[in-house]
Each structure stands twice: as structure tokens, then as C-alpha cells.
Structure 1
Amino acid sequence: ALHRSFVHRVFVFFSFMLSSFVVGLRVRKVDLVWGTSPPLFQGWTAWLLARLKRVPFLFEVRDLWPAFAIAVGVLTDRTFIRMSEWLERFLYRHADRVMVNSPGFIAHVTGRGARRVELVPNGAEPGMFDPADNGEAFRASHHLENKFVVLYAGAHGMSNDLGVVLEAAGLLADRPEVQVVFLGDGKEKAGLQARAAEMGLTNVTFVSPVPKNEMALALAGADACIAILKPLEEYKTTYPNKVFDYMAAGRPVVCAIDGVIREVIAAAGCGIFAQPGDPAALAKVIRSLANDPERSRRMGMNGRRYVEAHFSRSMLAEKLAHILEEMTA
């Protein structure tokens, strides 16, 4: 199923590459072509259009592809890997600028030929979130009243290592006031639900995904939020978007991701690190926060202030606008 799904995604990527090229040719007045990866193949379309239109080419790297796909075992065909890595290097070398959303990506792209790299993180929009909201509606609708709610919000996929969170929940069975909530969807969700039932976990709740504009209400219902990825070297380079939303919502972060995002959380004083892949370490951090709700709230507000100062989308949009103006001057 995984292989079929990946083949389907590759087919979709190539289809989009062709259709976007045709559409791009029809656009008459162009000042700049902005390509984004993944999908990596779309970057080739953007480069070709930029050359044909004789305008600058900005290549945005949101994830290190194919490195991430190789690391999690999704991409295994050697021919396809070689082709993807060649295209990746080609695009870095031929882009007028490469834009990354994490400082952890800079060494990777420069080491493969990028000449000029711009860092523009995704950040968060603080105005979307009210740290003072206690999330009564979300709690009531999911029977979470009088609970210390530890929320994971996001994809339920291979990379997210959510089995570790289930095992941590099992270790917290002696703390009935602690409820672990999984909000979102993905390929692994059904398996996680079945495993939780097999383990007899009553301190775990699965919630359907909500639109982005309702995420603030869900985060308001949390006392702490989990960020977790598999313990792979590649993931030490990433800035997961959810962490900035957690911070903007004023909620402390249980961070089971090493690397650059751990450094942000440490600098902000807005959470506690748990060794990735270690359920006991994760459970220990959750206990620590549940034991001291006042400390948890202080950490949450530290995160809110740090996002406002360093990762506000309005501030980052100004930086992006300046880059675009420079490139098209």
C-alpha cells in the first residue's frame, strides 16, 4: 500500500509539472518565477519557465527532498534516488536564490551548490490565538473537563512516531487526570486507534482533524502540546510548523525532536526536551508539566512572547517582500 501510494504521488507530481508548465507559458507579464519543493520535479518546471521568460528564479525548499523520503524508507529505488539527487543539485546551482524555512537546511543546500541562500521560517500568526482562552468548548465536546490535556496536533504518518506517544500514555496510566489527545489524520491513525484499544488505554482520545481556522480553539483546550518525529539525523534540521502554532497559543511544548527546533524551544524557555524514540522520557516530561501547572503556564507565555518577537508572520512577510523586491529590481 505504501509503495502504491508513493507511485501515485510521483504520478501526481509529474502531472503537475507538465500542467504547471503549460499554464506558466500562457502568463505574459512575469517578473520572477518562484518554484517550491517538494515536489522537487516542479522546481524543474519553474527553472525552465524562468529561463524562457528571462526572469530570476527563486527556489523555495520546504523539506529536504529526496533526503527525507530516503531516510524514512519511502524512496528506495536507486535509479529514482540518483535522478532526484541530480535534479536537486541542478536546481540549487541554477537558482538565483534558494529560500529555506529552517537554518538546519542551509548547510545541506550550500553543500550541493546553492550560491545564495535566504532563511524565511514559516512562523505563526499570533493574532489567530488567544492564550487566555481555556478551550471550554473543545474540552466539553471531547469530555476533557478537569483533565490535564496533552495534545498532539498534526499528521498521523510514518515520520511522526506516534506509537511512542501511545507507549508514554501507557506509562501514565497511574495519572488518571492526564489525557493524551491525538488531533488529526493520516495513514497510521487506524493502526494507532487499534493499538490503543489493544493496550486498554482509557487516557487517550482521538479527534478528527479540524480546519486551520479552528485550530486555535483546539490548542486553547490543551495544557501542553507534543512535537515529535522519528529519531533520524535528517529531522534535526527541521522547523515543524506546529511548534510555532503551539507557542503562539501560549502552550508549553513537549519536544521529542532534537536539533534546531530544540534550540528554539530552549532559547524561548517554552518547553522541555524528551529524547526522541523514548516513551519513558516522554512520560517523564509530561508528568513534570502535570505536576506543576503554574510552571507550564509560564513556559507557554514565554513561547508566546518569543513568537511575537522572532517568528511573527507579519515580520517574516516583510523579510520575504524585501527579498522579492531585491530580486526583481
Structure 2
Amino acid sequence: MQDNAPRVVHVSTVHPWTDNRVFRRECRTLARSGYDVTLIAVADEAQHCDGVRVIPAAQARTRLGRMVGGVIHAFGLAWNLKADIYHLHDPELILLTPFLRLRGSKVVYDAHEDLPEQVLGKDYLPAVSRRAVALACRGLCRFVGRASNHVVTATPTIAARFAPRPATVVHNYPELLPHVDGLVPYEAREDVVVYTGALGVLRGAAQMVDAMAAARLDGWRLRLVGPFRPATLTDELATRPGWSWVHRMGTVSPLEARRLTSTAKIGLLVLQPSTAYRDSMPTKLFEYMAAGIPVIASDFPLWRSIVEELGCGLLVDPTKPEAIATALRELAEDPARAQAMGERGRQAVLHRLNWSTEERALLHLYDRLRGAA
């Protein structure tokens, strides 16, 4: 790292430091391109990894503690680092924008999700207050759109939230990892249906388990890779007949999750209909495709435009385990069709839908912020 390298600080009090978008893609890309990169995020200890310095954010036990104490702690850390560019990843951090700009720094806000729509799906908020909170979040979006130097979003739909101010779309497309993805020929893979990521009610945990019972596929397993939220959800799911088909892996590293995906035959993505998910672009969709496996996905318009256009999987009503089970049987009983779908998805990722196409947009934005382009 050169002594005069531009100093960049990414900040999150929510995401683990290993987060695919924050660390693996954005931070590592900037470090490889000559930036001095520090990441303040959830971590057990300070460390250096792939050219990125990681500083642990304060870990609060309550949501309020994170939103107040955690944000104040992160602000102190960020302020002391005297960055040229601050890149903020959480809505809780939005109000730090004008203070960080006071020191002459540039500030980027990264909108991973459509915040006002996401709030409408928060079960922990009383139903009567959700619309009021969503309205306040729209105000926050307008504020950060004007107060920050630029906004980055994960999808064009989220970018529209900040109109007429321009935003840069940086999709959650996967890195190309040929040493991890697709090494095992499809016909030699395990009879496994895989889901990777956090597991919860709105992520279709119950529907996946019930679908395995309805499909009754001899010798097959449902591999669940990720934490249950809340942890007590496993107690309820364990009472369902489909639990006997489950192979629970728990939390693993991102690379191990990719490896486990690449040895499966079908990927499940049956997030439930909610304002938080309909317009999202989940990373796991593209990671399933990168691994060469067909996807069974919720029939949301945005997802349909990808899955149908590419012919890389089947779309289902995610609320109905019977519909998911029918799709599972179709693919399990016709491996040639499943393999062809997986290969179409993999080719799309190899040639179009991968991080190499997105990192150019990120680096161009940073060049503009520095006045280099």
C-alpha cells in the first residue's frame, strides 16, 4: 500500500465483517485497486485480511443498543480514521452523513434494500405504526440522497427511491470462483436440495421443510446452511414430518457455503411475499447459478425476469409447500432437464451476471469522487 493511497472507511454496525457485498466484493475490490481500506463491522477481533484492515464495531445485545450506542461507537472510530471517503452500509448510520462531511470527507451511502418497503414487513413493529415508520424512512432516504455525495444501490428499483438524484446500481452478482463453483459434474453430485443464508419465517423455513415431506424424495436431503433466526425456530420446525429430511449445517464461512452449494443438485429460494423481498436481488440466486444448479424460486416479477428469461429454474408460489414439492419432484425425476437449467444459469453468470461487471461501476464512482474521472 502506497503512503499516499486514498483512505477509505466502510462502516456497518449490522453486517459481519465477512459480508459478501461489503467485504468480499466492495472492500476487497478497492484494496486491490490501490485504496487504503478499513472496515468497521461486526467482528470478534481486529485483523487484516486481503488488504483490508478490520476493526470490530461495538456489539450491543438489543436493537436499541445497536442503534444508539453502536452507532456512536462506530462514529468515533470512523471520525478518528480521517478518511477521504466514508462508505456507510446501514440506515442507522444515515444521520452521521453531515458530521462526516464536516471534516471535508466524501460520504457514500449504500442502500442494500428498499428501506421504506422493508419496514412495512418488520414483524417486531406494531402494525399500526409501520406506515408511520415507513414514511419517516422515506424522509431519511430523501435526506441521505441530498446530504451524501452519492448513493449506491443493489437494484434499479431501490435506485428509483432516490430519484431525481442519480444513484449508482452495483448489483449483488457473485465473484467468479472456478476453484469452488461447478467442479463436481452434475451427475456426480449428491441428492441434495440446498438453501444458504439466514433462516427465518419470512425466508420460507417452514415451507421448505414441509415441501420435503410432501415431495417424499427417497435418499434426498435438504441442506440448510446458515443460522436460524430466532434460534428457537428449530424447536418448532423439528416437530414437522419434513425435519427428517433436513441436514442442518449451521453457520459456515462464505467460501464453505459456496462449496456446499456446488455439490448439491437443486437450490431453494422461496422467500415469502413481503415488501422486503419482492424487489430484492438476493445474492444466493446468482450463487446457485454460478454453481450450476437449477433454482426453485418465489414467483416475484423481478425474479421472474431473470429465471424465466434464462431458463435456469422453476418459479413457484412460495407460500404453498405442495407447489414447491411439485417443482422438487420435476427436477429430481428429470436430471437432464435440471442439469440443462443449471448450465444455462452458470453460463449467464460466467459471461454477464458476475462481479467483474459490477466492480467497474464501483471503481468509476470512486474515481469521480476523487476527481480522477
Q: TM-score, normalised by structure 2?
A: 0.74
Q: What's the counterpart of residue 124 of structure 1?
A: 174
- The Cα of 1:83 is off from its aligned counterpart by 4.8
Distance 1:189 1:27 in 2: 36
Q: What's the counterpart of residue 139 of structure 1?
A: none
Measured against aligned partners, the alpha-carbon deviations of 1:145-194 in whole angstroms (never above 9, x if no partner) come to 99621111111123202111122112112x31332222221224543454
Distance 1:14 1:328 in 2: 31
Matches within 5 A, 1:205-284: 205-284=247-326
Q: What's the counterpart of residue 13 of structure 1?
A: 67
2:95 is the counterpart of 1:44: yes
- The Cα of 1:323 is off from its aligned counterpart by 1.0
- The alpha-carbon distance between structure 1 residues 8 and 83, as it changes in their structure 2 partners (threshold 3 A), is farther
Percent identity among equivalent residues?
23
Picking from 309, 318, 328, the partner of 2:360 is 318
Q: What's the counterpart of residue 42 of structure 2?
A: none
Q: What's the counterpart of residue 22 of structure 1?
A: 76
Q: What's the counterpart of residue 33 of structure 1?
A: 86
Distance 2:227 2:323 in 1: 25
- The Cα of 1:248 is off from its aligned counterpart by 1.1
Is residue 88–residue 107 contact of structure 2 (8 Å, CA) maintained in 1?
yes
Structure 2: stretches of 5+ with no match in the other structure: 1-59
Distance 1:236 1:194 in 2: 26
- The Cα of 1:233 is off from its aligned counterpart by 3.8
- The alpha-carbon distance between structure 1 residues 190 and 11, as it changes in their structure 2 partners (threshold 3 A), is closer
Q: What's the counterpart of residue 141 of structure 1?
A: none
Matches within 5 A, 1:116-195: 116-127=166-177, 129-133=180-184, 148-173=191-216, 175-188=217-230, 190-192=232-234, 194-195=236-237
Structure 1: stretches of 5+ with no match in the other structure: 1-5, 137-144
What SS does structure 2 have at the residue aligned with 1:59? strand
- The Cα of 1:26 is off from its aligned counterpart by 2.3
Is residue 101–residue 121 contact of structure 1 (8 Å, CA) maintained in 2?
yes
Distance 1:231 1:285 in 2: 18
Distance 2:219 2:366 in 1: 50
Amino acid at match of 1:283: A
Picking from 133, 149, 152, the partner of 1:99 is 152
More strand by share: 2
- The Cα of 1:231 is off from its aligned counterpart by 1.1
Distance 1:320 1:192 in 2: 39
- The Cα of 1:199 is off from its aligned counterpart by 2.4
Q: What's the counterpart of residue 44 of structure 2?
A: none
Say which structure, 1 or 2, has more relative contact order (CA 8 Å, 6+ apart): 1
- The alpha-carbon distance between structure 1 residues 226 and 200, as it changes in their structure 2 partners (threshold 3 A), is closer
Is residue 16–residue 42 contact of structure 1 (8 Å, CA) maintained in 2?
no
Once superposed, what is the RMSD of the aligned Cα atoms? 2.7
- The Cα of 1:201 is off from its aligned counterpart by 4.5
Picking from 36, 58, 61, the partner of 2:111 is 61
- The alpha-carbon distance between structure 1 residues 214 and 74, as it changes in their structure 2 partners (threshold 3 A), is same
Is residue 96–residue 115 contact of structure 1 (8 Å, CA) maintained in 2?
no
Is residue 269–residue 298 contact of structure 2 (8 Å, CA) maintained in 1?
yes
What SS does structure 1 have at the residue aligned with 2:303? helix
What SS does structure 1 have at the residue aligned with 2:348? helix
Distance 1:135 1:191 in 2: 32
Matches within 5 A, 1:289-328: 289-328=331-370
- The Cα of 1:302 is off from its aligned counterpart by 1.2
Is residue 150–residue 167 contact of structure 2 (8 Å, CA) maintained in 1?
yes
Is residue 117–residue 134 contact of structure 2 (8 Å, CA) maintained in 1?
no
